[in-house]
């Protein structure tokens, strides 16, 4: 068997067998064939697609290309949550401590931000002293002791994906659904979870901009996750505006703490409770979604969720006093309140542009090696459907310099469309996908 033979077969639209797919994944992990052959294979997959069986085989082969974490030493059903990415999406920092406070272990490996999408690890590292690089032994011990850990992925987790992901970015194959599915699920499966809750975003700030494409992606991910032996549920959630009101690393940590402390609510809280509820059901801690959400709400009201976040921060070397004193988080030297400056209604937002505005302030990376300004970002004080006047606050900028603030103001204003007619509120959830099919909401 050679790589050329496999490329030829997929080029002609034929179905690959397991051994051929394993050969491809191993070649990517070991870099044993030239990049131009891997790139040709990626394009053949992009143009001709893959069956569910092929996609499952590729996912498992990519999972097995490196380390697979063994979480069997942790009692209970371990449920992972994955979001396909967005702006102001701080759900992990809200739901991980809440779910753990309800008795379900959360052993989560997260990623960094790149481009307009923020990364959980970058947010966590805005907490002074916070450590995200635990060994596998430390990771498992922490979850056994306090029920929760959120850490960076190990260096040898799904190395085939690392190679292919970089090539997809430069070969216009990022939008291939089989490659998206295998990339996401290979890492989730390698991280050792027993079940998976997927938050598949749709809208102007999402990987998939329209609902039907998002549902199609979710259906395939659920089928592949199920075929891989992991109960999988996907929720289609809206990303036509930032999920939270705070955009930027330390600011998003602040919003998560405010929610856990009972000082804030809104869409971020609702989405976190819904996703966390599905995690509790899959973990066997609740009989249905209604009971699960009641458990999470009790953990909020009792302060158990905030206490669990404090425990996690302390266990990972961070200063847990930030949960009681938000001034200990990084603070921007320039803070500027911006007003809407007109009357009307908020009709639309270009969420990708809003994410890029924060990135340009230093809250995100243009390249993987760029450094982060943890204090930079903004608080967006309007939502789609709001009626505004010239004096309505638009946003509060947190910037390094006055020049950064001026550029961010211009970018944020350009990303928001106002009109004279009312608009409907953006929906948080549009569909649920499980092994039984699609339920539109």
Closest CA to 266 of 391, 383, 365: 383
Contact predicate 30/160, CB 8 Å: no
Domain boundary among 298, 324, 350: 324
Closest CA to 255 of 88, 426, 110, 82: 88
Q: Given 162, 187, 254, 398, which residue is catalytic?
A: 187
Q: How far apart are the first and last CA of the chain?
A: 48
Q: Given 65, 110, 176, 183, which residue is catalytic?
A: 183
Q: What is the pTM of this model?
A: 0.92
Contact predicate 344/418, CB 8 Å: yes
For residue 386, name the pLDDT band (cuts at 50, 70, 90): very high
Q: Given 10, 63, 78, 82, which residue is catalytic?
A: 82
Domain holding 415, by residue range, is 330-419
Domain boundary among 285, 303, 324: 324
For residue 15, what is the domain's CATH number?
Answer: 1.20.970.10
Asked if 26 and 140 sit in the same domain, the reply is: no
187 is catalytic: yes
How far apart CA 105 and CA 177 sit, in angstroms, is 31
Q: Is residue 433 part of a domain?
A: no
Q: What is the pLDDT of residue 116?
A: 62
267 is catalytic: no
Asked if 288 and 168 sit in the same domain, the reply is: yes
Asked if 387 and 287 sit in the same domain, the reply is: no
204 is catalytic: no
- Residue found by looking up tokens 């270009």 in the block: 350
pLDDT digits (tens, 9 = 90+) for 257-297: 999 999 999 999 999 999 999 999 999 999 999 999 999 99
Chain mean position to CA 352:
15
Indicate the average pLDDT of the chain: 94
How many domains, the chain?
A: 3
pLDDT digits (tens, 9 = 90+) for 396-423: 999 999 999 999 999 999 999 999 999 9
Higher pLDDT, 174 or 370: 174
26 is catalytic: no
- Residue found by looking up tokens 């803070």 in the block: 335
pLDDT digits (tens, 9 = 90+) for 229-246: 999 999 999 999 999 999
For residue 371, name the pLDDT band (cuts at 50, 70, 90): confident
Average pLDDT over residues 131-157: 91
Residues 6+ apart with CB under 8 A from 79: 99, 104, 106, 193, 194, 195, 196, 197, 279, 282, 283
Asked if 127 and 150 sit in the same domain, the reply is: yes
240 is catalytic: no
Q: Is residue 243 part of a domain?
A: yes
The residue count of the chain comes to: 441
Q: Given 67, 89, 122, 161, which residue is catalytic?
A: 161
How far apart CA 144 and CA 227 sit, in angstroms, is 29
Q: What is the pLDDT of residue 170?
A: 86
Q: Is residue 303 part of a domain?
A: yes
For residue 265, what is the domain's CATH number?
Answer: 3.40.1030.10
Average pLDDT over residues 10-25: 97
Domain boundary among 18, 36, 63: 63
Which residues in 386-419 are b (16+ Cβ under 10 Å) and which e? bebeeebebbbbbbeeeebbebbbebbeebbebe
Share of the chain above pLDDT 70, in %: 97
Asked if 301 and 334 sit in the same domain, the reply is: no
How many degrees, rounded to 5, is the angle at CA 421 between CA 418 and CA 427? 75
Q: Given 46, 168, 230, 278, which residue is catalytic?
A: 168
For residue 334, what is the domain's CATH number?
Answer: 3.90.1170.30
pLDDT digits (tens, 9 = 90+) for 288-343: 999 999 999 999 999 999 999 999 999 999 999 999 999 999 999 999 999 999 99
Q: Is residue 189 part of a domain?
A: yes
How far apart CA 90 and CA 299 sit, in angstroms, is 18
Contact predicate 360/408, CB 8 Å: yes
Asked if 291 and 175 sit in the same domain, the reply is: yes
């Amino acid at each position: 068997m050679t790589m050329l033979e496999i490329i030829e077969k997929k080029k002609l639209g034929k179905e690959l067998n397991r051994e051929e797919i394993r050969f491809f994944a191993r070649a990517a992990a070991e870099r044993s064939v030239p990049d131009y052959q891997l790139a040709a294979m990626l394009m053949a997959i992009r143009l001709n697609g893959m069956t569910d069986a092929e996609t499952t085989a590729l996912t498992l082969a990519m999972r097995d290309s490196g380390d697979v974490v063994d979480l069997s030493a942790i009692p209970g059903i371990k449920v992972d949550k994955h979001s396909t990415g967005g702006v102001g999406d701080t759900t992990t920092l809200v739901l991980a401590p809440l779910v753990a406070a309800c008795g379900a272990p959360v052993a989560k490996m997260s990623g960094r931000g790149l481009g307009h999408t923020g990364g959980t690890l970058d947010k966590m590292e805005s907490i002074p002293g916070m450590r995200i690089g635990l060994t596998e032994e430390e990771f498992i011990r922490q979850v056994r002791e306090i029920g929760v850990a959120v850490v960076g992925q190990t260096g040898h987790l799904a190395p085939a994906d690392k190679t292919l992901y970089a090539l997809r970015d430069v070969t216009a194959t990022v939008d291939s659904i089989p490659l998206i599915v295998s990339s996401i699920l290979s890492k989730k499966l390698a991280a050792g979870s027993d079940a998976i809750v997927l938050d598949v975003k749709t809208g102007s700030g999402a990987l998939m901009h329209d609902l039907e494409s998002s549902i199609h992606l979710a259906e395939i991910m659920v089928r592949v996750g199920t075929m891989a032996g992991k109960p999988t549920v996907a929720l289609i959630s809206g990303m036509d505006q930032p999920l939270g009101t705070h955009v930027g690393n330390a600011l998003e940590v602040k919003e998560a703490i405010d929610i856990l402390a009972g000082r804030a609510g809104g869409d971020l809280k609702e989405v976190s409770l819904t996703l966390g509820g599905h995690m509790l059901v899959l973990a066997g801690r609740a009989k249905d979604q209604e009971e699960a959400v009641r458990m999470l709400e009790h953990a909020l009201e009792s302060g158990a969720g905030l206490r669990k976040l404090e425990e996690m921060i302390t266990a990972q070397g961070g200063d847990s006093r930030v949960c009681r004193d938000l001034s200990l988080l990084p603070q921007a030297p320039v803070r500027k309140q911006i007003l809407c400056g007109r009357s009307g209604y908020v009709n639309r937002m270009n969420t990708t542009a809003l994410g890029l505005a924060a990135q340009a302030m230093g809250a995100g990376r243009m390249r993987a090696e760029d450094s982060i300004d943890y204090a930079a970002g903004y608080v967006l004080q309007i939502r789609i459907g709001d009626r505004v006047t010239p004096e309505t606050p638009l946003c509060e900028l947190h910037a390094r310099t006055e020049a950064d603030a001026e550029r961010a103001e211009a970018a944020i204003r350009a990303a928001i469309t106002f009109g004279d007619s009312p608009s409907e509120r953006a929906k948080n959830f549009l569909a649920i996908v499980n092994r039984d099919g699609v339920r539109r909401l």
